[in-house]
């Protein structure tokens, strides 16, 4: 069969490279070695190749796109983080496409593959659910597979592997510090509320229990309450709790708001009768009345830092030195505690 005009397939074949590489050369990407660039350019010039409309329609000129996976975009922490990432990428000339994977392994894997099929330059996994519980490496195999194709960045969860860059919070330390302050102030019956057993939830719990042990308080099943991630669910769980408690550390702000609603229903005065600490310092803290004391996990900083490292990897091809960055948290005191910000 005869063809009048060479296409990008032909150029790739003649140069012995992939069409993605040809496309990168045409787009002036830095990711191609000088040697490869020269070879491809020579063939492009020799064959008088100009990209045709088909190739353009096929998206070969639409690189500079990053895929973001989130479990649930309706969560205020997730949606705020996506907004920050998107802003950072946009400032660097990158677009983003977002995919909601849910919390189940099947969905995580399927959505990862879907994003890879869209020719993203890199993937961001946002949320500690992607790092699994840490019990087996099998849980995160899909992330390592993806990292064989493009650089992968995880936010709020650590995953070990080549081409994987993680940013995590100093969750354990932050919860440890705040719990200790509450205990030293006289709170002898603190409880930890969580809705998940994720990487980050486990670290928070660890910090909580370390503070209790150091202060001679037993950390048992009564000091940890598993709740659903809804305001009324938490309120009702606390209303039906038999053991008394005088301080609440919540794994996120929604759970903490549920504890505030419990205090209103149970007529317990905040912060005199009960102190409540949220986590994420999200948009909810100011809506709440009294306004919610919360651990600020620096969403903006973490997202900006991730984008910065991503640009370094993508545009300089260099491997970033520090593959695991730990960003420490700040405690922000508002109306639900009185321990000093």
- Which one of 38-46, 169-177, 213-221, 285-293 is the stretch in contact with its own copies (CB under 8 A)? 285-293
Total binding residues toward its own copies, as defined by CB under 8 A: 52
Residue 17 has which token pair? 């490279």
Is residue 59 at the binding interface for its own copies, with CB under 8 A as the rule?
yes
Is residue 181 at the binding interface for its own copies, with CB under 8 A as the rule?
no
E-strand ranges in 50-145 read 65-70, 95-100, 122-126
Minimum gap (Å) between residue 316 Cβ and its own copies: 24
Sites for its own copies among residues 106-145 (CB under 8 A) = 111, 114, 117-119
Is residue 231 at the binding interface for its own copies, with CB under 8 A as the rule?
yes
Minimum gap (Å) between residue 214 Cβ and its own copies: 34
- What distance in Å separates the CA atoms of residue 132 and residue 210, rounded to the nearest whole number? 22
- What distance in Å separates the CA atoms of residue 201 and residue 292, rounded to the nearest whole number? 20
Could you give the 3-state DSSP secondary structure of residue 255?
helix
How many CA atoms, within 13 angstroms, populate the side-chain half-sphere of residue 27? 19
Q: What are phi and psi of 254, to 5 degrees?
A: -60, -45
Is residue 103 at the binding interface for its own copies, with CB under 8 A as the rule?
no
Window 65-84: contact mask with its own copies (x via CB under 8 A): x------xxxxx-xxx-xx-
Residues 6 or more apart from 23 whose CB is under 8 A from it? 8, 60, 61, 63
Minimum gap (Å) between residue 256 Cβ and its own copies: 10
Residue 321 has which token pair? 């030195």
Minimum gap (Å) between residue 220 Cβ and its own copies: 31
Minimum gap (Å) between residue 259 Cβ and its own copies: 12
Is residue 16 at the binding interface for its own copies, with CB under 8 A as the rule?
no
Could you say which of 162, 287, 328, 338 contacts its own copies (CB under 8 A)?
287
Q: What are phi and psi of 37, to 5 degrees?
A: -55, -45
Is residue 9 at the binding interface for its own copies, with CB under 8 A as the rule?
yes
Which among 137, 121, 126 has a CA at the least distance from the CA of 169? Answer: 126
- Which one of 97-105, 213-221, 301-309, 324-332 is the stretch in contact with its own copies (CB under 8 A)? 97-105
- What distance in Å separates the CA atoms of residue 275 and residue 232, rounded to the nearest whole number? 19
Which among 36, 302, 16 has a CA at the least distance from the CA of 26? Answer: 36
Note the residues at the interface with its own copies (CB under 8 A): 1-3, 6-7, 9-10, 19-20, 54, 57-62, 65, 72-76, 78-80, 82-83, 86, 90, 95-100, 111, 114, 117-119, 231-232, 257, 260-261, 264, 283-284, 286-289
């Amino acid at each position: 069969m005869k063809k009048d005009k060479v296409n990008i397939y032909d150029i790739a074949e003649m140069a012995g490279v992939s069409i993605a590489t040809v496309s990168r050369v045409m787009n002036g990407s830095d990711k191609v070695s000088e040697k490869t660039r020269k070879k491809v350019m020579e063939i492009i010039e020799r064959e008088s190749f100009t990209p045709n409309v088909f190739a353009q329609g096929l998206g070969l000129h639409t690189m500079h796109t990053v895929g973001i996976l989130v479990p649930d975009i309706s969560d205020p922490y997730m949606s705020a983080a996506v907004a920050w990432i998107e802003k950072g990428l946009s400032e660097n000339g990158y677009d983003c496409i977002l995919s909601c994977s849910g919390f189940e392994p099947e969905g995580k894997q399927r959505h990862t593959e879907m994003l890879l099929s869209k020719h993203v330059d890199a993937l961001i996994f946002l949320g500690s659910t992607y790092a699994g519980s840490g019990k087996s490496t099998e849980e995160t195999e899909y992330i390592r597979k993806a990292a064989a194709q493009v650089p992968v960045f995880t936010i709020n969860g650590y995953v070990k592997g080549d081409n994987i860059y993680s940013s995590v919070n100093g969750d354990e330390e932050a919860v440890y510090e705040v719990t200790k302050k509450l205990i030293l102030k006289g709170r002898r019956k603190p409880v930890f509320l969580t809705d998940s057993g994720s990487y980050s939830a486990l670290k928070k719990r660890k910090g909580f229990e370390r503070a209790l042990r150091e202060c001679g308080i037993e950390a048992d099943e009564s000091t940890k309450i598993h709740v659903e991630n809804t305001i009324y669910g938490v309120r009702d769980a606390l209303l039906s709790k038999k053991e008394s408690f005088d301080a609440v550390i919540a794994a996120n702000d929604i759970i903490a708001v549920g504890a505030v609603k419990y205090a209103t229903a149970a007529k317990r005065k905040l912060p005199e009768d009960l102190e409540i600490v949220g986590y994420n310092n999200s948009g909810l803290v100011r809506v709440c009345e009294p306004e919610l004391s919360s651990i600020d996990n620096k969403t903006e900083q973490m997202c900006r830092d991730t984008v910065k490292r991503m640009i370094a990897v993508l545009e300089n091809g260099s491997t970033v030195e520090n593959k695991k960055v730990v960003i420490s948290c700040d405690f922000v005191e508002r109306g639900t505690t009185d321990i000093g910000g």
